[in-house]
Amino acid sequence: MGFNGKMIRKKDLTIWQKAYIPEIFKGLRLTISQIFKPKFTYQYPEERFKPEPSFRGRPVLVQENGVERCVACGLCSRVCPALAIEVQASETELEKERYPIVFEINMVRCIFCGFCEEVCPEEAIVMSSEYELVFTSQEEAVFGKDKLLKSTEELKDRLEFLRQHR
Amino acid sequence: MGDVFLISVIKFVTYVSVVLLSVIILGWVERRLSAFMQNRLGPNRVGPQGILQIFIDVIKLLLKEDIVPKNAYKPIHDLAPVISIAVALSTFAVIPIGNTIELFGSHVKLMIADVNVGILYILSITSLGVYGVTLAGWSSNNKYSLLGGLRSSAQMISYELSMGLSIIGVLMISGTLRLDQIVLHQAQYLWGWLPAWNIFLQPVACITFVVAAFAETNRLPFDLPEAEPELVGGYHTEYAGLKWGLFMLAEYANVITASAVITTLFLGGWHLPYVESFGLSPFTLSILQVLTFCVKLLLVILFFMVIRWTVPRFRYDQLMSIGWKVMLPLTIANVLVTGLVLLLI
């Protein structure tokens, strides 16, 4: 007789609840009322989910005035728990003196944790709102600078969000 | 004689095609409705409102490989789904879907087989249905299937009793075993305005019969034979392709049949209240009766589906204690009270 809960329940229930049928009709009313409520489904290819700025989509490099902000310090590559980022530095005539000649993120390895964004001293790598990532091969999944660079206008929402919450 | 034969063939072909088609469509209705109840949309891409989805699923099932487990007993493994579907479809034969209709200059009764013990036929055939489930569970050579089959047979025995006893109240009132006579008896009026449907005359019998019908059709509050969280897939765990599809068809065919029996016995069958006073032509009246029957049937089927997503599954000991300790005394008391009232009147 290890059913302790059973004893307590029997005391709690009123005679109407024990009769069970009225309770079923209460449940039916709830179920039927749900039929007419608005649905949560997105009709995906036609209607897409628009993420909030707090959403962590694929990481991108911020491009300001046609140049990336990145100074190739390699901190993101260091902090990345999945070892997805590869940076190779080189020198430049610009004020920042260093820039990444190669910057690759392997999107198969990326786990969207956002550590690279957190650790970046220049706010040069941020998480965008893009979530549709489809590849047909391993090579295609390695995103180079051509795919990673995004202008500040495109990333305005996310940069604004970071400034407020950091 | 040839005329009678022709009419029987027409009735049979119409009935089988209509029931099989509606069984398939019910699959779609259930998926759509359950989605709506969970604030989803359900299948809505293929065809208008997704109605062709279920036909595509049927084609998919036809083309799938038929997998039989290595140690299964193949003859019975093949036979079990056939028993299930045959039994589920043959019950409908005695259900009157209308009174009579004038066709080719003769009066045609709107039921396939005019059996004088219609209710006994229904009771005996529906209890045969358990053989399909139990044999499927046994022949699969799988623990979970066997448990599902055993549960089904125990459940069927427990609820068959209260099902039969709840019908006795109805039989005492109408004094006949013919289903068309029972419906005709319900086509009268109490105190001149209330239709004498058995749901008003025998409310307790109605409730117990509906509960027993849920148990007989293995629908959700009583779907222990195929309880997914406990038994993988229950009795049809080891079935694939068309044979699995036959079990699904049998389930929905059982729902249609059970709803039809409930409609006939308790909701007045094809009787549409107050329509006699409008003075319609006999042919229009017959059509109207068939439509009434279909609408009532559909409402009961929808009730089956809404209950499925409202009431959680019973535990096995709860199932047994409700069957033996609540339903059985209740139905016996109902028979006694009905008998007393009939004696006093």
Q: How many helices (DSSP H) and strands (DSSP E) are in chain A?
A: 7, 7
Instruction: State percent of chain B over pLDDT 70.
Output: 98
The answer to whether the CB of B53 falls within 8 A of the CB of B43 is: yes
Residue B313: C-alpha distances to residues A33, B148, B222, B275, B307 (Å): 21, 14, 6, 41, 11
H/E stretch holding B195 reads: strand B194-195
Q: What is the pLDDT of residues B56-86, one digit of tens each?
A: 888 888 898 888 888 888 888 888 889 888 8
Which pLDDT does position B103 carry in this prediction? 67
Which pLDDT does position B46 carry in this prediction? 84
Which pLDDT does position A93 carry in this prediction? 86
Residue among B80, B81, B97, B82 at smallest CA distance from B19: B97
Which pLDDT does position A3 carry in this prediction? 53
Tell me the nearest-neighbour CA distance from A47 into chain B, angstroms: 14
| DSSP string across B11-80 | HHHHHHHHHHHHHHHHHHHHHHHHHHHTT---S-SSSGGGTTHHHHHHHHHHHS-----TTS-HHHHHHH
Question: Which residues, listed in sequence order, are joined to residue A48 by a DSSP beta bridge?
Answer: none
Q: How far apart are CA B187 and CA B275, in angstroms?
A: 11
Q: What is the pLDDT of residues B135-173, one digit of tens each?
A: 888 888 888 888 888 888 888 888 888 888 888 888 888
Q: What is the pLDDT of residues A109-129, one digit of tens each?
A: 999 998 999 999 888 999 998
**Mean pLDDT computed over B187-192:** 78
Considering only residues 41 to 80 of chain B, which have any Cβ-Cβ distance to chain A shorter than 8 Å?
41
Tell me the nearest-neighbour CA distance from B303 into chain A, angstroms: 9
Q: Residue A1: pLDDT band by 50, 70, 90 thresholds? A: very low
Residues of B within 8 A of A26 (CB-CB) are none
**Mean pLDDT computed over A9-19:** 71
The phi-psi region of residue B175 (left if phi > 0; otherwise alpha if psi is between -120 and 50; otherwise beta) is left
B57, two tokens: 């699923």
Domains annotated for chain A, with CATH where assigned, are: 4-35 (no CATH), 59-165 (3.30.70.3270)
Residues of A within 8 A of B307 (CB-CB) are 24, 28
Q: How far apart are CA A113 and CA B121, in angstroms?
A: 66
The answer to whether the CB of B197 falls within 8 A of the CB of B183 is: no
Q: How far apart are CA A79 and CA A59, in angstroms?
A: 14
Residues of B within 8 A of A39 (CB-CB) are 36, 39-41
Q: What is the pLDDT of residues B262-289, one digit of tens each?
A: 988 888 888 887 777 777 777 788 888 8
| DSSP string across B143-165 | HHHHHHHHHHHHHHHHHHHHHHH
H/E stretch holding B102 reads: strand B100-103
Q: How far apart are CA B344 and CA B255, in angstroms?
A: 38
**Mean pLDDT computed over B25-32:** 87
B274, two tokens: 């107050």
Tell me the nearest-neighbour CA distance from B239 into chain A, angstroms: 32
Which runs of E-coded beta strand occur in chain A? 59-64, 67-68, 85-91, 98-106, 125-127, 142-143, 149-151
Averaged confidence pLDDT in chain B: 84
Q: How far apart are CA B38 and CA A130, in angstroms?
A: 29
Considering only residues 16 to 45 of chain B, which have any Cβ-Cβ distance to chain A shorter than 8 Å?
33, 36-41
H/E stretch holding B108 reads: strand B106-109
Residues of B within 8 A of A31 (CB-CB) are 37, 306, 309-310
Q: Residue A82: pLDDT band by 50, 70, 90 thresholds? A: very high
Q: Dihedral of the CA atoms A45, A47, A51, A57 (nearest 10)?
A: 10
Q: Is the sign of the CA dihedral B109, B112, B114, B119 positive or negative?
A: negative
The phi-psi region of residue B50 (left if phi > 0; otherwise alpha if psi is between -120 and 50; otherwise beta) is left
The answer to whether the CB of B213 falls within 8 A of the CB of B163 is: yes
Q: What is the pLDDT of residues B210-248, one digit of tens each?
A: 988 888 888 878 887 777 777 777 788 888 888 888 888
Q: Chain A: residue nearest B304 by CA?
A: A28
The string over B187-212, giving b where at least 16 C-beta atoms fall within 10 Å of a residue's C-beta and e elsewhere, is: beeeeeeebbbbbebbebbbbbbbbb
